[in-house]
Structure 1
């Protein structure tokens, strides 16, 4: 399953829920869960998919003549699952925390080698994910409400290999265990008779350097790198 398929599924899901909700409104203008947003605290859960890559900072690289020296990142599709908690602050503004598990794997292809054992490095990421977000909502229109979100998060990468003494010379890529992100996203709240469902998409950008250099300063894998930073997208479906 690639990213385009996930985008199509997400779009179809959004359209299906939206059309169903609008049809119900025109048929009988009933407002579901009319006072749901007035609650001080709300709880729920989510699941979804993700994709991540790296922004790579080189020490020396002439982008006009040396593009063949760039490291290539193959992006994979991962999954997200977690819980949600929300505190209603004022009208149209909520504070959210969404701790969960985010799993993904990236594959780095290094130039300048002839053997596959030296060229390819898998970078698995098993994140304990803790975001703190502000949710800015528009006025509710019957059973639909759009919103945007912004905030920060910290992840603890259980697959970072940061504590290992071995490095790429022993076919082991290392990265930082703790990563800090800022996040931007948008979504829609749909109100059914029994619960609120909220599809959303969110962009994440790390702010700290995640690279742990190899033990050899002249390493052919990390010697020409200043750092790596993660960029990614999360697609979630929240139920509250």
Structure 2
């Protein structure tokens, strides 16, 4: 699903660029939009969250050397946008939103049912710098990058129960860096901006089990989230 959405976004950008370059269109939509000091909007989109594990010791019983496997699924993003124009090519952007996602999580062990389903609701708060290429007819490519933090409302960080009682625990607060690209499409009534972005956690998010030999946490040096966001912004 993630690859299909990314491919669809790329094809939309390519088809729009081709139409603008070779159709000879000269009617400009939203001509004064980029002259605004401040602009506002909202976004809707999709996400796919995964975990990246660093292990203390190699696991010889696993073909991959991993103790844990993650089943990724497609989630949903929604949020608001505040955009400050810095100059003709740079914007400073704040995109507070809420991300909903579910991941499957399992320890590689044949003699026990180790599957966990982790449903997460993140309040995501990114501060981004957006670099815009020069506008060509009614489209404008851009790249975006920055830092962010999130509050995991389903973290179970303060839950006294751990995996021995069926509770997987993560930190409530996480910090990330983000990088992505997209295209601004100037339509008759509004600006539509499809984009794809990689999001990578910096800190360790795992709350260890009480048992130091836990199959879930005992061999984990660090666990950090990584995600792909595909968003459609309306301004």
Q: Which residue of 1 aligns with 2:210?
A: 215
Q: Which residue of 1 aligns with 2:154?
A: 159
How large is the RMSD of aligned CA atoms in angstroms?
Answer: 2.0
The alpha carbon displacement at 1:106 in A equals 1.3
TM-score w.r.t. length of structure 1: 0.91
Of residues 186, 206, 209, the one that matches 2:201 is 206
Q: Give aligned pairs, total.
A: 235
Q: Deviations over 1:198-225 (max 9, x none)?
A: 0000001100000000012222221111
Of residues 78, 82, 85, the one that matches 1:81 is 78
Q: Which residue of 1 aligns with 2:185?
A: 190
The alpha carbon displacement at 1:68 in A equals 5.3
How far, CA to CA, are the matches of 1:210 and 1:31 in structure 2? 47
1:1-240 aligned within 5 A: 2-15=1-14, 17-18=16-17, 21=20, 26=24, 28-61=25-58, 67=64, 69-116=66-113, 119-240=114-235
The alpha carbon displacement at 1:9 in A equals 3.5
The alpha carbon displacement at 1:132 in A equals 0.4
Whose helix fraction is larger, Structure 1's or Structure 2's? 1
The alpha carbon displacement at 1:40 in A equals 0.4
Q: Deviations over 1:113-139 (max 9, x none)?
A: 4232xx111222210011000001111
Equivalent pair of 1:76/1:105 in contact (CA under 8 Å): yes
Equivalent pair of 1:207/1:229 in contact (CA under 8 Å): yes
The structure-2 alpha-carbon separation of the partners of 1:8 and 1:91, relative to structure 1 and needing over 3 Å to count, comes to closer
Equivalent pair of 2:84/2:93 in contact (CA under 8 Å): yes
Q: Deviations over 1:132-169 (max 9, x none)?
A: 00001111111111110110011000011111000000
The structure-2 alpha-carbon separation of the partners of 1:43 and 1:69, relative to structure 1 and needing over 3 Å to count, comes to closer
TM-score w.r.t. length of structure 2: 0.93
Equivalent pair of 2:141/2:182 in contact (CA under 8 Å): yes
Q: Deviations over 1:148-192 (max 9, x none)?
A: 011001100001111100000011100010000000011100111
Equivalent pair of 2:44/2:79 in contact (CA under 8 Å): yes
Q: Secondary structure at the match of 2:86?
A: strand
How far, CA to CA, are the matches of 1:71 and 1:172 in structure 2? 16
How far, CA to CA, are the matches of 1:18 and 1:194 in structure 2? 19
How far, CA to CA, are the matches of 2:142 and 2:10 in structure 1? 17
